[in-house]
């Protein structure tokens, strides 16, 4: 795991680099926005920690430019505790936002959460991009059928993505309810059926989601 730290404040930067080193995470630090953009392209880091207030170009612009060519996870750290910055940062494609001052424990927890998420997402899209008519793009939360976007509601997307984690595997209804709806309340079984029906309709063929009697559902390939 290699982290790129883009931060002009020496004390903050040293704290992050040392703190990550203590946890066996290698970090490279640069002190300006342009150096950050260059290093992101050259080093191919696994994750970027980006300060917003940089001497040459604003961190939001740095984020935008890196995101234009790379899907590397970006955590923004900033002293600007304003809602507008948080929203703008996430809209620019940052994965998370931490307000200074923060503790190393918090930063490391966020790093681990993001890498877990992106690793799962990457394996899903790789698995589903090859040879299938149905492609699930977890990062963009999009489903493409024969190259055309299918307009699913967020929950419908969650169901399809869940079933696509292991294509062909049968997922139990109780597991889908627990993981997608965060509940095991039996009343929601009807909700699950309604969502499955809606997705089948939108995909144009019920065979995309097969019912396995007495067990649950699996993603099919008509
Ligand atoms: Ca700064």
pLDDT at residue 183 tops 80: no
Three-class SS of residue 141? Answer: coil
Q: What is the pLDDT of residue 118?
A: 60
Q: Which of 32, 79, 39 is nearest to 58 (CA)?
A: 32
Which regions of the chain carry the CATH code 1.10.10.10? 124-219
Higher pLDDT, 196 or 114: 196
Q: How far is the CA of 53 from the centre of ligand 1 (A)?
A: 4
**Torsion angle of the four alpha carbons 53, 55, 60, 64, in this order, in degrees rounded to the nearest 10:** -150
Q: pLDDT (tens digit, 9 = 90+) per residue, 22-44?
A: 988 999 999 999 999 999 999 98
Which band of pLDDT confidence, cut at 50, 70 and 90, is reported for residue 117?
A: low
Q: What is the pLDDT of residue 185?
A: 60
Q: What is the pLDDT of residue 12?
A: 93
Q: How far is the CA of 114 from the centre of ligand 1 (A)?
A: 23
Q: How far is the CA of 140 from the centre of ligand 1 (A)?
A: 30
Q: Which of 199, 76, 210 is nearest to 136 (CA)?
A: 199
Which band of pLDDT confidence, cut at 50, 70 and 90, is reported for residue 197?
A: very high
Which band of pLDDT confidence, cut at 50, 70 and 90, is reported for residue 182?
A: low
Which regions of the chain carry the CATH code 3.40.50.2300? 2-118
Q: What is the pLDDT of residue 122?
A: 46
CATH superfamily of 2-118: Response regulator (3.40.50.2300)
Q: How far is the CA of 48 from the centre of ligand 1 (A)?
A: 15
Three-class SS of residue 136? Answer: strand
Q: pLDDT (tens digit, 9 = 90+) per residue, 149-161?
A: 898 877 888 899 9
Q: For the packed helices 104-129 and 154-164, what is the interaxial angle rounded to 10 degrees?
A: 70
Contact 149, 142 (CB under 8 A): yes
Contact 100, 77 (CB under 8 A): yes
The CATH number that domain 124-219 falls under is: 1.10.10.10
Q: What is the pLDDT of residue 216?
A: 92
Q: How far is the CA of 8 from the centre of ligand 1 (A)?
A: 5
Higher pLDDT, 187 or 53: 53
205: left (phi over 0), alpha (psi -120 to 50) or beta: beta
């Amino acid at each position: 795991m290699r982290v790129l730290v883009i931060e002009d404040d020496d004390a903050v930067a040293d704290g992050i680099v040392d703190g990550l080193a203590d946890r066996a995470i290698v970090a490279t630090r640069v002190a300006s926005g342009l150096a950050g953009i260059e290093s992101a392209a050259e080093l191919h880091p696994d994750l970027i920690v980006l300060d917003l207030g940089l001497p040459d170009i604003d961190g939001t612009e740095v984020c935008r430019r890196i995101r234009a060519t790379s899907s590397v996870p970006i955590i923004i750290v900033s002293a600007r505790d304003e809602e507008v910055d948080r929203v703008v940062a996430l809209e620019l494609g940052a994965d998370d936002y931490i307000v200074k001052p923060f503790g190393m424990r918090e930063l490391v927890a966020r790093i681990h959460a993001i890498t877990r998420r992106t690793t799962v997402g990457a394996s899903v899209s790789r698995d589903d991009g090859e040879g299938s008519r149905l492609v699930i793009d977890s990062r963009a939360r999009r489903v493409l059928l024969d190259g055309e976007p299918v307009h699913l509601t967020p929950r419908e997307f969650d169901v399809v993505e869940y079933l696509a984690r292991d294509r062909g595997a049968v997922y139990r209804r109780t597991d889908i309810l627990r993981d997608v709806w965060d509940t095991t309340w039996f009343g929601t079984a009807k909700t699950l059926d309604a969502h499955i029906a809606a997705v089948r309709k939108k995909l144009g063929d019920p065979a995309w989601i097969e019912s396995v009697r007495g067990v649950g559902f699996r993603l099919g390939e008509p």
